[in-house]
Amino acid sequence: MKKHFFSTLVALVCATLTLACCGKNDGDRSVIPEQDSTAFVNISDVVPDAIFEIRYFGTYNFVGTRIDGYLQPTALLTREAADSLRAVSDELLSRGYRLKIYDAYRPQGAVDHFVRWAADVTDTLMKPYFYPDLDKSVLFDQEYIMAKSGHTRGSTVDLTLFDMRTEKEVDMGGTFDWFGPESHPDFCGNPATGEYTGDNSGSPCGRSITAEQFANRMILRTAMLRHGFKPLDSEWWHFTLTDEPFPETYFVFPVNQL
C-alpha cells in the first residue's frame, strides 16, 4: 500500500513539474513576442481625461488614407508608459490643460505602409498639408520615413495640449506630422533653457513661430520630461518613455480596443 502510495505521489509530482516546466511554457512559446499585447493597455482606461484624434485611423494624415493596422480609433501603450502619461495628465489638468493624443503604439504593418507610400514618389495627395516645402523623394534620406519606428515598441506617444478654458487645441505653431525643421523642438528657441530666440534660419521658406507658440511647446515638453519621457529632436509632439520595457521588440498586433 505504501509502495503504491509512493509511486502515485512520484507520478503526481512529475506530472506537476512537467506541466509547470513544459505545458505553460509551451503555451508561452506559442505566442510570438511581437504578437503579444498582454503588456499593453488602452490609454483611455488609464488617462480618462485624454482626448483622442487618431490620425492614422482616418484620412487626414500625410498618406491620405487609413493606415494598415489601425482597426479602431483608439490608442494603446505599455502599462508603464500609460502610468507615466497619467502623471503628466494629472499635472497639466491642474493647469487647465488636457492631453490630446494623435498616435501611440503603432504596429509594424503601419510602418511598412509608410515605407511603401514613400517609395511611390508620384503619390503627393497630401503634400500641400504636410510637406509643401519638400520634394517627396527626400523623405527617406532626411529620415522622415524609416523602416523602424520607436512607436512600434509600445512606449512612444504623439500628442499636444487642449486648453479647457478656450475649449480649443493649444496653438503650437505647426501641425502634427509636418515634415520640416519647423517641427523641431529647437526651432526659434532653445528647449534646454526655454528661451525664445526667433531664429528661423533652418526654415527653407522662411516660416516662423511666435514666442507664445514656442512657450506652448515648452509647457508640453517640460511636463513630459518631468514624468519620465524623453523627446525627439525632430518632432515637438513625440515622446518616448525613457525606461521603456521593450527596447528591442517591434510589435505587430493591430491597434484595437483591448
Report the chain's terminal Cα–Cα distance, integer Å. Answer: 53
Per residue in 150-200, pLDDT tens?
Answer: 999 999 999 999 999 999 999 999 999 999 999 999 999 999 999 999 999
- pLDDT score of 31: 77
CA distance 110 to 68: 5
- pLDDT score of 29: 54
Please give the C-alpha separations between residue 128 and each of 125, 136, 143, 224, in angstroms, as whole numbers.
8, 11, 19, 30
CATH 2.60.40.1120 is the classification of domain 41-241: no
CA distance 256 to 258: 6
Residue 53 catalytic? Answer: no
In the chain, the largest separation of any two C-alpha atoms, in whole Å, equals 93
Q: pLDDT per position in the chain (258 positions), as tens?
A: 444 444 444 444 444 433 343 333 434 556 799 999 999 999 999 999 999 999 999 999 999 999 999 999 999 999 999 999 999 999 999 999 999 999 999 999 999 999 999 999 999 999 999 999 999 999 999 999 999 999 999 999 999 999 999 999 999 999 999 999 999 999 999 999 999 999 999 999 999 999 999 999 999 999 999 999 999 999 999 999 999 999 999 999 999 999
Please give the C-alpha separations between residue 100 and each of 35, 48, 109, 163, in angstroms, as whole numbers.
27, 11, 24, 10
pTM: 0.88
Domain boundaries, the chain: 1-30, 41-241
The burial class, CB within 10 Å (0-12 / 13-18 / 19+), for 257 is exposed
Active site residue: 53, 80, 182, 235, which one?
A: 235
